[in-house]
Chain A
């Protein structure tokens, strides 16, 4: 019997990534945010690992460079948190300021918290994928690992 799971999981990958992105974008106004987005994207990749194997999953660039991606996310988070300091505001200040007009279309609002959340999403995604990759690696062969 040919299992229907592998093709289905391949089909599910892109929709889940798009949903993850939408979760990130609408995080400021309604249910969502960087963490669920990153976790969902990570889970989508996990599904690939489970059904198609490590080699197939590593076809994607984002999966191969997951750990640097997490570092970039951390930089984004720290940057958004502390860059307002340069302009004389308190750390973690939100731009546009609450009394300034909002930028955006419809339900979509653009503000610096979005960058912060994006960084968070990258951290979570990178962390999840790195951990999954390490474990997938171990079930295969014995290979020397380096620290996180």
Chain B
């Protein structure tokens, strides 16, 4: 499978869907089939990414620097796979849960997928921005899905805050270009190895802020609770499950891969930010009454875990960050989808996803957290390890307090077979990974191995 397959498919599909009325069942199934096809292409691409040479092409066969390089190394492909799977699950859920109520919903989800795959596969800083904005624009339009006043309010907050983040990102990319004279990431890496380490400090800081807004860790988290509470459950699942991946992927790609020198200087800061946001997220999650807000604060605390893992020295921490991001993406989606419904099935799915978020075995989240703990203890960060254990306990408490309070224990529209299947599939994936963690751990390890410039 050539690399352009998963890039082309969502584009063509999105354009076709834009002409069609997304409320019809067959249009929704077309979108679902297309996303499933994209996912299939990526699975096909998977062994090639693990080969000696990552699949890549340069647009228009121009020399590097003129043409844009697109490349699928292990980090790209695992993030693309998980994000597309989350998008697919959410789209299926929304369709079988009672029909899509907006004409453009399937097209927007597919465009979001096109943007995300582009972001993950591109190896050009400015092209990253273009795809990033494509994904963001689709997400902006999706945020108002549902048309109720509170959805609109959520969308407005989301757009304004994230537009600021995008502007910061654009500024950082331009600064990178003006400093290094190239936009190709591999060339920037080469420049950084030769050049002085402090030159990229300012763009690096801006990038941290920009991806911080996307990921929603402590000082940049302020939009998350309001948006996750007010947006529809499907949209919240899309934003928390798929779109937040841009933040963690961006930090890994730009921080670890492109600017390792800046990353080395930012480590203490990252650890402080991570610890603060773990604490802040968990404490506030305990104090909230609304389930969605509890989930929002739990995701802030989870973002803190990723940041703290990035802040740890050496490869182990980074591997933990990848595993945390991937597992977190799936369990956020399952949580947001399950809490929308009532009945026995929803409760089971919610419990599994909550166990995974808190890091209780046998779930995927447990292994990611265990890895983080091991890395922290190996490097003598006992305080951080203690904080992670404490936060896990507290977030388990918070998630199950919400579970007890939630009226869906008593009544509410139950998950029927279709929606139940989606949520079950997500929870089952979490349990299977929990029982057989080798793929997750290997994905994390190899993804980091693929970033060549590490010591």
User: Which residues of A are in contact with B by a Cβ distance under 8 Å?
Assistant: 68, 71, 74-75, 78, 82, 85, 89-94, 146-148
Q: Is the CB of B141 within 8 A of A71?
A: no
Residues of B close to A89: CB separation below 8 A: 61
Residues of B close to A85: CB separation below 8 A: 2, 4, 8
5 A-B Cβ contacts within 8 A? Answer: A68-B19, A89-B61, A91-B4, A91-B7, A147-B104
CB distance from B116 to the nearest CB of A (A): 17
Q: Is the CB of A90 within 8 A of B8?
A: no
Q: Is the CB of A90 within 8 A of B18?
A: no
B96-117 interface bits toward A, Cβ cutoff 8 Å, 1 = contact, 0 = none: 0000001110001000000000
Partner of A147, one of B11, B12, B141: B141
Q: Is the CB of B59 within 8 A of A91?
A: yes
Q: Is the CB of A71 within 8 A of B15?
A: yes
- Residue from A85, A89, A90, A91 whose CB has the most chain B CB atoms within 10 Å: A91
CB distance from B49 to the nearest CB of A (A): 19
- Residue in B closest to A78 when the chains form the complex, CB atoms: B11
CB distance from B151 to the nearest CB of A (A): 13
13 other A-B residue contacts (CB within 8 Å) besides A93-B61, A147-B103, A148-B141? A71-B19, A74-B15, A78-B11, A78-B15, A85-B4, A90-B61, A90-B67, A91-B4, A91-B59, A91-B60, A92-B60, A146-B104, A147-B141
Q: Is the CB of B104 within 8 A of A148?
A: yes
In chain B between 331 and 388, which residues have their CB closer than 8 angstroms to a CB of chain A?
none
Residues of A close to B7: CB separation below 8 A: 91
B288-326 interface bits toward A, Cβ cutoff 8 Å, 1 = contact, 0 = none: 000000000000000000000000000000000000000
Tell me the bound Cα distance from A92 to B67 in angstroms.
9
Tell me the bound Cα distance from A91 to B108 in angstroms.
24
Q: Is the CB of B19 within 8 A of A90?
A: no
Tell me the bound Cα distance from A33 to B112 in angstroms.
27
Tell me the bound Cα distance from A49 to B2 in angstroms.
47
Q: Is the CB of B11 within 8 A of A90?
A: no
Tell me the bound Cα distance from A82 to B59 in angstroms.
10
Given A71-B18, A90-B60, also A146-B103 (CB < 8 A): yes
Given A74-B18, A78-B12, also A90-B58 (CB < 8 A): yes
The verdict on B223 contacting chain A, using a C-beta distance below 8 Å, is no
The verdict on B29 contacting chain A, using a C-beta distance below 8 Å, is no
Residues of A close to B58: CB separation below 8 A: 90
CB distance from A54 to the nearest CB of B (A): 23
Q: Is the CB of B15 within 8 A of A75?
A: yes
- Residue from A68, A93, A147, A148 whose CB has the most chain B CB atoms within 10 Å: A147
The verdict on B50 contacting chain A, using a C-beta distance below 8 Å, is no
In chain B between 385 and 411, which residues have their CB closer than 8 angstroms to a CB of chain A?
none
Partner of B59, one of A68, A90, A147: A90
The verdict on B57 contacting chain A, using a C-beta distance below 8 Å, is yes
Tell me the bound Cα distance from A17 to B219 in angstroms.
49
Tell me the bound Cα distance from A90 to B141 in angstroms.
32
B114-143 interface bits toward A, Cβ cutoff 8 Å, 1 = contact, 0 = none: 000000000000000000000000000100
- Residue in B closest to A89 when the chains form the complex, CB atoms: B61
Q: Is the CB of A93 within 8 A of B60?
A: yes
- Residue in A closest to B5 when the chains form the complex, CB atoms: A85
CB distance from A86 to the nearest CB of B (A): 11
Residues of A close to B11: CB separation below 8 A: 78, 82
CB distance from B276 to the nearest CB of A (A): 39
Residues of B close to A92: CB separation below 8 A: 59-60, 67-68
Residues of B close to A90: CB separation below 8 A: 57-61, 67
